[in-house]
């Protein structure tokens, strides 16, 4: 900068008052003081307006009146040029002061950096817009940086694992074949079953416990051990053509094989229909069907074992009852024979009837002899010999009748009476008859138990037979890849939320 230019720049602000320019269309007068108050002017702006009004020689009553009068004469009190005019210019003829002392113009002075206000007229709206633009550019830069970091994190923790999972399911995973079968466990009840027990007959409630028991057995380690011993379950998954994630080691433990068994043998039970659904997954379709048929055979054996003990107990109880009844009948028969040999009678009823007939015959003969005796005594001079003979015959018959009756009712020395002997014989006979009836009932019960034991009370019916598939069922590459994406995205979202919450708690 030359000395002349510096002097001209220093002498630019004149001390004489500047005539205000005429009002234009852009500077319309604002007469309403209330409107000026509502503009929200700061105290600094109001002081600047009062100084500008004093410089213009205006008489004002308040700061707002100064703004109003300045606008009426067409002067903007807040423009940068008017602010410069408020600065008092140095006196004419005086030299500008320099750091080195008084100088006389024209003179060259070294150019030093000075913090001078800009001479450009920049409105507050433009300055505010410029600052807002800077803030927006800074926000956009930060947003781009954060978006880039987010894309990198998503690529590392979501997209890359998803691509690896998809590559495994599409390229590396060994195809698996699933054989589906369905069966139901039914219960055979007697035709005469009635009462509360027959309410659930033929429904799934009657065999629900049996179905759950079979399901538990097929998913147990016992079924795995048997299937491994008979069908080689573990060796099929230890083959070298199985992918590394699904392959079992050659020396795998039972627990490791059981984990694979649980993943590849899926059994479910529908309590509403009573149907057991089974899906067996194997590396080979024929092997899948073979394993499914073997498991169904295990289920049938388990169903038979559910009632085997009950049937055996029923048969054993009926057999023991029959044998005990036979033994009691034999004892009763031996006792009856012993009493017959003791009393020397076979039929006590016939013996009593014979004695009774003898007594009746003797009674009849005695009555005839008594009639004959009465006839002899009715004559005037009966023969004494005939009368005595008839009397002796009557006395003999009466003695014989008395002896027979005594034998039937009274016991002699050392021997029981005929009535007692007949009673013993009758009791022995009745006991034998009763034991014979019990033997017949026990025999009937044993035959019934034998029929029930031979009849299959629980049996398994196949609804869907196992058929080997001709296409691989697993892996479902698209579904598994989509599921992997959702899982990784969920994990990333949870970790991000947790990190954000912890960061907020720490910085709070």
Q: Is residue 132 part of a domain?
A: no
Residue with tokens 């008859």: 433
Average pLDDT over residues 353-382: 81
- Tell me, yes or no, whether 334 and 425 share the same domain: yes
pLDDT 10s digits, 314-351: 778 888 888 888 888 888 888 878 877 776 665 666 66
Q: Who wins on pLDDT, 186 or 380?
A: 186
Q: Give the span between the Cα atoms of 448 and 315, in whole angstroms.
A: 9
- Tell me, yes or no, whether 356 and 262 share the same domain: no
The pLDDT value recorded for residue 454 is: 67
Q: Give the span between the Cα atoms of 339 and 329, in whole angstroms.
A: 15
User: Among the listed ranges 150-154, 224-228, 432-436, 496-500, which one has the minimum average pLDDT value?
Assistant: 432-436
The pLDDT value recorded for residue 20 is: 45
- Tell me, yes or no, whether 448 and 405 share the same domain: yes
User: Among the listed ranges 70-74, 402-406, 432-436, which one has the minimum average pLDDT value?
Assistant: 402-406
The pLDDT value recorded for residue 22 is: 40
Q: pLDDT band at residue 407, thresholds of 50, 70 and 90?
A: low
- Tell me, yes or no, whether 452 and 466 share the same domain: no
- Tell me, yes or no, whether 464 and 482 share the same domain: no
User: Among the listed ranges 87-91, 162-166, 401-405, 479-483, which one has the minimum average pLDDT value?
Assistant: 87-91
Q: How many residues does the chain have?
A: 508
Average pLDDT over residues 274-287: 93
Strongest mean pLDDT among 366-375, 405-414, 451-460: 366-375
pLDDT 10s digits, 242-268: 999 999 998 889 999 999 999 999 999
Classify burial at 471, counting beta carbons within 10 Å of its beta carbon; exposed 0-12, middle 13-18, buried 19 or more.
exposed
- Tell me, yes or no, whether 450 and 489 share the same domain: no
Kindly state the tokens that stand for 210.
């049996």
Q: Mean of the per-residue pLDDT values for the chain?
A: 78
Q: pLDDT band at residue 151, thresholds of 50, 70 and 90?
A: very high
Helix (H) or strand (E) holding 279: strand 275-282
- Three-state DSSP class for residue 277: strand
The answer to whether 464 touches 168, Cβ cutoff 8 Å, is: no
* Dihedral sign computed on CA atoms, order 495, 501, 505, 508: positive
- Tell me, yes or no, whether 300 and 343 share the same domain: no
- Tell me, yes or no, whether 273 and 304 share the same domain: yes
- Tell me, yes or no, whether 285 and 332 share the same domain: no
**463 lies in which domain range?**
177-188+202-316+459-474
Q: Is residue 373 part of a domain?
A: yes
User: Among the listed ranges 8-22, 120-134, 197-211, which one has the minimum average pLDDT value?
Assistant: 8-22
The pLDDT value recorded for residue 82 is: 55
Domain tally, the chain: 4
The pLDDT value recorded for residue 294 is: 94
């Amino acid at each position: 900068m030359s000395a002349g230019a510096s002097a001209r720049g220093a002498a630019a602000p004149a001390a004489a008052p500047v005539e205000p320019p005429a009002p234009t269309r852009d500077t319309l007068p604002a007469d309403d003081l209330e409107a000026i108050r509502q503009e929200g002017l700061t105290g600094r702006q109001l002081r600047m307006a009062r100084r500008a009004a004093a410089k213009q020689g205006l008489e004002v009553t308040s700061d707002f009146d100064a703004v109003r009068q300045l606008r009426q004469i067409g002067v903007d009190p807040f423009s940068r040029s008017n602010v410069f005019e408020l600065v008092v210019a140095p006196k004419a003829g005086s030299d500008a002061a320099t750091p080195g002392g008084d100088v006389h113009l024209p003179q060259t002075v070294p150019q030093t950096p000075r913090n001078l206000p800009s001479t450009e007229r920049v409105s507050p709206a433009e300055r505010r817009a410029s600052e807002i633009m800077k803030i927006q550019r800074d926000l956009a830069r930060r947003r781009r940086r954060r978006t880039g970091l987010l894309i990198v994190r998503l690529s590392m923790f979501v997209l890359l694992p998803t691509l690896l999972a998809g590559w495994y399911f599409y390229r590396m995973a060994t195809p698996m074949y699933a054989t589906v079968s369905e069966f139901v466990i039914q219960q055979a009840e007697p035709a005469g079953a009635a009462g509360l027990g027959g309410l659930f007959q033929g429904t799934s409630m009657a065999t629900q416990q049996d179905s759950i028991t079979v399901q538990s057995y097929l998913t147990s380690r016992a079924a795995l051990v048997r299937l491994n011993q008979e069908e080689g379950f573990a060796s099929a998954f230890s083959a070298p053509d199985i992918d590394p994630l699904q392959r079992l080691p050659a020396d795998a433990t039972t627990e490791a094989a059981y984990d694979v068994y649980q993943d590849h043998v899926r059994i479910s039970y529908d309590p509403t229909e009573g149907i057991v659904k089974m899906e067996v997954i194997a590396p080979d379709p024929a092997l899948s069907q073979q394993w499914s048929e073997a498991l169904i055979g295990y289920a049938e054996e388990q169903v038979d074992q559910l009632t085997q003990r009950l049937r055996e107990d029923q048969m054993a109880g009926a057999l023991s009852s029959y044998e005990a009844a036979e033994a009691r009948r034999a004892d009763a028969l031996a006792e009856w024979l012993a009493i017959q040999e003791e009393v020397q009678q076979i039929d006590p009823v016939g013996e009593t009837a014979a004695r009774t007939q003898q007594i009746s015959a003797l009674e009849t003969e005695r009555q005839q002899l008594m009639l004959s005796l009465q006839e002899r005594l009715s004559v005037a001079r009966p023969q004494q010999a005939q009368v005595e003979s008839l009397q002796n015959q009557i006395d003999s018959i009466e003695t014989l009748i008395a002896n027979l009756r005594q034998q039937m009712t009274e016991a002699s020395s050392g021997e029981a009476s005929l009535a007692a002997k007949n009673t013993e014989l009758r009791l022995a006979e009745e006991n034998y008859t009763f034991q014979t009836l019990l033997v017949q009932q026990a025999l009937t019960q044993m035959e019934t138990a034998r029929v029930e034991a031979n009849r299959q009370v629980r049996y398994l019916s196949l609804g869907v037979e196992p058929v080997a598939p001709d296409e691989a069922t697993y892996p479902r590459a698209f579904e598994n890849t989509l599921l992997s994406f959702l899982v990784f995205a969920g994990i990333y979202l949870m970790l991000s939320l947790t990190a954000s919450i912890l960061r907020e708690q720490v910085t709070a």
